[in-house]
């Protein structure tokens, strides 16, 4: 069985290798922050995580290389720096 090549990126300062072609939302889940793949916090401090996976709910908003992006609509790239809030 052939394995997909890995892409190395950083999530909240921690390096993680994910399969090539993986979305940032999937990478958050693989990194397993709080077990949910948390992308941000609500105004009351509750953890929020990707929900729809198709760019509608906006729950997956993160900062990628300093720009606000949707994790479910962004493919991981080598050296990418992802920050959750
Ligand atoms: S998970 Fe709903 S917009 Fe990304």
Q: List, for residues 20-57, the tens digit of each pLDDT value.
A: 999 999 999 998 755 778 899 999 999 999 999 999 99
Q: What is the pLDDT of residues 60-79, one digit of tens each?
A: 999 999 999 999 999 999 99
Residues with Cβ within 8 Å of residue 74, at least 6 apart in sequence: 23, 24, 64
Per-residue confidence (pLDDT) for residue 34, from 0 to 100: 58
* Ligand 1 atom at minimal distance to the Cα of residue 73: 4
Model-level pTM? 0.89
What pLDDT band is residue 1 in, cutting at 50, 70 and 90?
confident
Distance 10 CA to ligand 1 centre (A): 20
Q: Does the C-beta of 51 come closer than 6 Å to ligand 1?
A: yes
């Amino acid at each position: 069985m052939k394995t997909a090549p890995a892409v190395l990126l950083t999530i909240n300062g921690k390096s993680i290798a994910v399969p090539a072609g993986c979305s940032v939302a999937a990478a958050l889940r693989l990194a397993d922050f709080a077990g949910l793949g948390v992308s941000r916090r609500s105004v009351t401090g509750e953890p929020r995580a990707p929900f729809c996976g198709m760019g509608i709910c906006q729950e997956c908003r993160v900062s990628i290389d300093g720009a606000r992006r949707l994790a479910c609509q962004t493919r991981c790239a080598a050296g990418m720096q992802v920050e959750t809030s």
